[in-house]
Structure 1
Amino acid sequence: MKWTCAVVFTLLITSMGFAVEHTKDSLATIKKNVESKKAVLVDVREKGEWDAGHVKGAIFLPLSSLQDGITAAEQKKLPQDKVVYLHCAVGFRAKIAASLLKKYNDKVRPLPQGYEELIESGFQKSK
């Protein structure tokens, strides 16, 4: 049911012109910005995916919780003075999450790359 809502929501925002595009930043730039604390990496996958493995230092903020409205605690996880890179498994949910979070931080950038691509490119996997 949540996936159906997500698809409908995405189609709606896309048709209205509010969709956030994937970042053009390279994975090397993203990694450098995260390591230098100029940016944070937010994982919008669901709990089971997170538990199976996630990027070390990433913030867990699943899309399903964002669709119900962002809480004050979730909002505090998103620094206002840094770029917020969002990732999921393949890039689709990251775009939806970016559309939902854009009003809290205008530096939100969804990644077209998914979790596996981040690990393959040198991001550390959390143990």
Structure 2
Amino acid sequence: MTDMRRFGIFGQVRTPGLRAYTETMDEETTVTVNDIPEGAAIIDVREDDEWEAGHIEGAIHVPLGELPTRLDDLPLDDDMYVICRTGGRSNRAVAWLNKNGFDAFDVVGGMGSWNIDNGKPIVSETGEEPWVK
């Protein structure tokens, strides 16, 4: 397994005993679900079981811990709108992406805001009724 400590804030996320990333996002890097442009690249950084239960159709699934090793899966020339369940993981992903030269935005409120608060559609990988896990 890769030693995630060499990836800066990702080591803090995945390595026991280290502080979690707590830097505050500025207003320019956060958006609401209604601010996401039609057809924009949405990156879902939740875990596999969360993705399978319910996700945005057309989103790209890259769990937070895999982000540094899966940059080839991202649309590097486009703005990216990063989402998780409530906003904690997406906040860390956006901070890391932007510090490394990408244009990423944190979707405030995450999937809860997308589906539960705003009624935007989601799909599941299980064939069952999709839900936000």
Amino acid at match of 1:88: C
Question: What are structure 1's unaligned runs of at least 5 residues?
Answer: none
TM-superposition CA deviations, 1:55-83 (whole Å, max 9, x none): 111100101223xxx22xx2122223321
RMSD: 2.6
In terms of Rg, which structure is larger?
2
Counterpart of 1:29 in structure 2 is 35
Deviation (angstroms), 1:113: 1.5
Q: Secondary structure at the match of 2:31?
A: coil
**Correspondence 1:1-127 to 2 at 5 A:** 5-6=12-13, 8-11=19-22, 14=23, 20-21=25-26, 23-30=29-36, 33=37, 35=38, 37=39, 39-66=40-67, 70-71=68-69, 74-102=70-98, 103-105=100-102, 107-120=103-116, 121-127=118-124
- Alpha-carbon separation, structure 2, partners of 1:99 and 1:26: 17
Structure having the larger proportion of residues in helix: 1
Aligned residues: 109
- Runs of 4+ that moved beyond 6 A: none
> Percent same amino acid at aligned positions?
29
Q: TM-score, normalised by structure 2?
A: 0.68
Amino acid at match of 1:29: D
Contact 1:43 1:86 in 2 (8 A): yes
Q: Secondary structure at the match of 1:86?
A: strand
